[in-house]
Amino acid sequence: MKYKKSLVFSLITVLLFSLFLTGCGEKEVNQTDGPTAQKETQKTEKEDKKETVEVDIFQFKVEVAKALEEAAKVYEEEKGNVKINIQTVGGGDDYGAALRAKFQSRQEPDIFNVGGPQDVEDWMDTLEDLSDQPWVDLALPGMLSGATVDGKVYALPFNVEGYGFIYNKRIFKDAGIDVSQIKDFASLEKAVQELDGKIKAGDLKDKYPLLEAVFEMPAKERWVTGLHASNAALSQEFDSSIAAYEAKEIDFKYADAYKAIIDLQANYSANSETKDRLVAVDYATQVDEGLAIERVAMIQQGNWIYGGVYDIDPEVADNLDILPMPIQGGKEDCIPVGVPMHWSINTKSTPEKKEAAKDFLNWLYTSETGKDFVVNQFFFIPPFEGYEDLQPKDSLGKAVKRYSEEGKTTPWVFMGYPTAWGEDVLGVEIQKYLAEKVTWEELVEEVKTKWTESR
Amino acid sequence: MWKKKIKKIVLFIFSILLAVLFLSPLYIVFTNSFKTQKGIFMNVLSLPFGPFFTLENYKEAFIQLNFIHSFKNSLFITIFSTVFIIIFASMAAWMLVRTKTLYSQFIFFLFAASMLIPFQSVMLPLINVMGWLKMLHPVGLIFIYVGFGSSLSIILYHGFIKGIPKALEEAAIIDGCNTFQVFWKIIFPLLKPTTVTVSILNTMWIWNDFLLPQLVINKPQWHTIPLRMFYFFGQYSKKWNLALAGLVIAMIPIVIFYLSAQKHIIKGVTDGSIKS
Amino acid sequence: MKKNKGWFILFVGPILLAFLVVQIIPIFIGMYYSFTDWDGIGNQANWVGLQNYIEIFTQDEGFLHAFAFTTIFAIVSVFIINIIGFGLALLVTKEMKGNNFLRGIFFMPNLIGGLILGFIWQFIFIKAFDWIGAQLGVSALQGWLSTTMTGFWGLVILMSWQLSGYMMVIYISALQGIPESLKEAAAIDGANYLQRLRHIIIPLVAPAFTVGIFLSLSNAFKLFDQNLALTNGGPYNSTQMLALNIYSTAFTYNKLGLAQAKAVIFLFTVAIITLTQLYYNKKKEVEM
DSSP state of A321: E
Interface test with C, best of B5, B46, B121 (most C CBs within 10 A): B121
A107, A84 in Cβ contact below 8 A? no
Among B101, B111, B208, whose Cβ lies nearest the Cβ of C111?
B208
Q: What is the CA radius of gyration of chain C?
A: 23
Tell me the average pLDDT of chain B.
86
Q: Which pLDDT does position B270 carry in this prediction?
A: 33
Query: Predicted ipTM?
Result: 0.84
Asked if A306 and A424 sit in the same domain, the reply is yes
Residue, of B117 and A300, whose pLDDT is higher: A300
Return phi, psi of residue A63, to 5°. Answer: -60, -30
How far is A285 from chain B, CA to nearest CA, in Å?
Answer: 9
Binding-face residues of C in 87-106 toward B, CB within 8 A: 88, 91-92, 94, 96-98, 100, 102-106
Q: Which residue of B has its CA nearest to A34?
A: B66
Among A100, A282, A432, whose Cβ lies nearest the Cβ of C236?
A432
Q: Which pLDDT does position C283 carry in this prediction?
A: 77
In chain C, which residues have their Cβ closer than 8 Å to the Cβ of B107? Answer: 12, 16
- CA triplet B165, B171, B176: central angle to 5 degrees? 140
Q: Which pLDDT does position A14 carry in this prediction?
A: 53
Closest CA to A252 of A234, A279, A231, A274: A234
Q: Which pLDDT does position A125 carry in this prediction?
A: 92
Q: Which of A26-40, A329-343, B45-59, C99-113 has the lowest mean pLDDT?
A: A26-40
Domain for residue A8, yes or no? Answer: no
CA distance C50 to C55: 9
Taken in order of first residue, the domains within chain C and their CATH numbers are 60-252+259-283 (1.10.3720.10)
User: Quick one: average pLDDT of A400-413?
Assistant: 90
Closest CA to C155 of C142, C165, C144: C144
Domain for residue A375, yes or no? Answer: yes
B144, B77 in Cβ contact below 8 A? no
Indicate if the pLDDT at residue A41 is higher than 50.
Answer: no
Q: Which pLDDT does position B148 carry in this prediction?
A: 93
| B230 inside 8 A of chain A by CB | yes
Centroid of chain to Cα A276 = 27
CA distance A158 to B254: 41
Domain for residue A241, yes or no? Answer: yes
What percent of chain A has pLDDT above 70?
Answer: 88
End-to-end CA distance of chain A: give it in Å, rounded. Answer: 68
Indicate if the pLDDT at residue A28 is higher than 60.
Answer: no
| C38 inside 8 A of chain B by CB | no
pLDDT in tens, B17-31: 888 888 888 888 899
Q: Which residue of A has its CA nearest to B78?
A: A15
How far is C146 from chain B, CA to nearest CA, in Å?
Answer: 20
End-to-end CA distance of chain C: give it in Å, rounded. Answer: 16
B237, A307 in Cβ contact below 8 A? yes
Give the contacts of A331 (CB within 8 A, at least 6 positions apart): A236, A408, A410
Return phi, psi of residue A161, to 5°. Answer: -130, 155
A15 pLDDT tier (thresholds 50, 70, 90): low
Domain for residue A123, yes or no? Answer: yes
Report the SS3 class of residue B148.
Answer: helix
Domain for residue A320, yes or no? Answer: yes
CA distance C158 to C225: 12
Domain for residue A180, yes or no? Answer: yes
Give the contacts of A436 (CB within 8 A, at least 6 positions apart): A275, A276
Q: Which pLDDT does position B114 carry in this prediction?
A: 84
DSSP state of A1: -
Report the SS3 class of residue B35.
Answer: strand
Return phi, psi of residue B249, to 5°. Answer: -60, -45
Asked if A292 and A315 sit in the same domain, the reply is yes
Among B73, B130, B189, whose Cβ lies nearest the Cβ of A1?
B189
CB burial class (10 A; 0-12, 13-18, 19+) of residue C283?
A: exposed
A69 pLDDT tier (thresholds 50, 70, 90): very high
C103 pLDDT tier (thresholds 50, 70, 90): confident
pLDDT in tens, B87-111: 999 999 999 988 888 888 889 888 8
| C21 inside 8 A of chain B by CB | yes
Asked if A115 and A87 sit in the same domain, the reply is yes
Chains that touch B (3 or more CB pairs under 8 A): A, C
Chains that touch A (3 or more CB pairs under 8 A): B, C
Query: Does residue A336 have a cis bond before it (omega within 30 degrees)?
Result: no
Indicate if the pLDDT at residue A11 is higher than 60.
Answer: no
Indicate if the pLDDT at residue C63 is higher than 80.
Answer: yes
Q: Which pLDDT does position A380 carry in this prediction?
A: 92
Half-sphere exposure of C177 (CA within 13 A, CB side): 29
Closest CA to C242 of C21, C31, C66: C66
Residue B236 CB coordination number (10 Å): 18
Indicate if the pLDDT at residue A317 is higher than 80.
Answer: yes
Closest CA to A317 of A215, A208, A168: A168
Among B41, B80, B128, whose Cβ lies nearest the Cβ of A104?
B128
CB burial class (10 A; 0-12, 13-18, 19+) of residue C105?
A: buried
Binding-face residues of A in 189-228 toward C, CB within 8 A: 220
Q: Which pLDDT does position A38 carry in this prediction?
A: 42
What percent of chain A has pLDDT above 90?
Answer: 62
| Per-residue b or e along A362-371, where b marks 16 or more CB atoms closer than 10 Å to that residue's CB | bbbbbbeebb
Asked if A114 and A175 sit in the same domain, the reply is no
Domain for residue A30, yes or no? Answer: no
Centroid of chain to Cα C215 = 6
Q: Which pLDDT does position A12 carry in this prediction?
A: 54
Asked if A377 and A283 sit in the same domain, the reply is no
Among A94, A274, A419, whose Cβ lies nearest the Cβ of C254?
A419
Domain extent, residue A118, equals 49-160+340-386
Helix axes C99-107, C148-175, angle to 10 degrees: 140
Indicate if the pLDDT at residue A34 is higher than 80.
Answer: no
Closest CA to A56 of A100, A22, A86, A15: A86
CA distance B224 to C114: 16
B34, B48 in Cβ contact below 8 A? yes
Indicate if the pLDDT at residue C25 is higher than 90.
Answer: yes
Closest CA to A221 of A276, A163, A285, A275: A285
Q: Which pLDDT does position B196 carry in this prediction?
A: 87
Is C253 in Cβ contact with A279 (below 8 Å)?
no
Q: Which of A194-198, C1-5, C211-215 has the lowest mean pLDDT?
A: C1-5
- Torsion sign (Cα): B89, B166, C93, C193: negative
Domain for residue A393, yes or no? Answer: no
CA distance C87 to B15: 11
Centroid of chain to Cα C237 = 21
Q: Which pLDDT does position A2 carry in this prediction?
A: 45
Chains that touch C (3 or more CB pairs under 8 A): A, B
Asked if A123 and A183 sit in the same domain, the reply is no
Counting every residue written for chain B, the total comes to 276
C-alpha dihedral, A373 to A374 to A375 to A381, nearest 10° = 180
Asked if A219 and A286 sit in the same domain, the reply is yes
Q: Which pLDDT does position C61 carry in this prediction?
A: 84
In chain B, which residues have their Cβ closer than 8 Å to the Cβ of C105? Answer: 19, 22-23
DSSP structure string for C217-260: HHHHHH--HHHHHHTTT-STTTT--HHHHHHHHHHTS--HHHHH
Among A22, A61, A284, whose Cβ lies nearest the Cβ of B238?
A284
Q: Which residue of B has its CA nearest to C101?
A: B259
Asked if A353 and A432 sit in the same domain, the reply is no
End-to-end CA distance of chain B: give it in Å, rounded. Answer: 35
Closest CA to A390 of A405, A400, A380: A380
Is B219 in Cβ contact with A101 (below 8 Å)?
no
Asked if A334 and A349 sit in the same domain, the reply is no
In chain C, which residues have their Cβ closer than 8 Å to the Cβ of A109? Answer: none
DSSP E strand boundaries for A110-199 = 111-114, 148-149, 152-153, 156-157, 161-168
C209, C85 in Cβ contact below 8 A? no
Most confident of B81-85, B191-195, C180-184: B81-85
| A429 inside 8 A of chain C by CB | yes
Asked if A354 and A406 sit in the same domain, the reply is no
- CA triplet A112, C248, C259: central angle to 5 degrees? 100
Interface test with B, best of A104, A315, A316 (most B CBs within 10 A): A104
Taken in order of first residue, the domains within chain B and their CATH numbers are 27-275 (1.10.3720.10)
Asked if A303 and A447 sit in the same domain, the reply is yes
In chain A, which residues have their Cβ closer than 8 Å to the Cβ of B189? Answer: 1, 4
CA distance A186 to A198: 19
Q: Which residue of A has its CA nearest to C125?
A: A280
Report the SS3 class of residue A74.
Answer: helix
How far is C41 from chain A, CA to nearest CA, in Å?
Answer: 6
DSSP structure string for A250-299: ---TTHHHHHHHHHHHHHTBTTTT-GGGGGG--HHHHIIIIITTTSEEEE
Is B148 in Cβ contact with C22 (below 8 Å)?
yes
Q: Which pLDDT does position C286 carry in this prediction?
A: 54
| B181 inside 8 A of chain C by CB | no
Give the CATH number of the domain where residue A150 resides: 3.40.190.10
Asked if A84 and A227 sit in the same domain, the reply is no
A370 pLDDT tier (thresholds 50, 70, 90): very high
pLDDT in tens, A275-285: 888 998 999 89
Is C126 in Cβ contact with A94 (below 8 Å)?
no
Tell me the average pLDDT of chain A.
86
Is A280 in Cβ contact with C234 (below 8 Å)?
yes
| A14 inside 8 A of chain C by CB | no
Binding-face residues of B in 189-228 toward C, CB within 8 A: 193-194, 196-197, 200-201, 204, 208, 210
Q: How many domains does chain A have?
A: 2
User: Quick one: average pLDDT of C110-131?
Assistant: 82
Q: Which pLDDT does position B265 carry in this prediction?
A: 54
Is B159 in Cβ contact with C210 (below 8 Å)?
yes
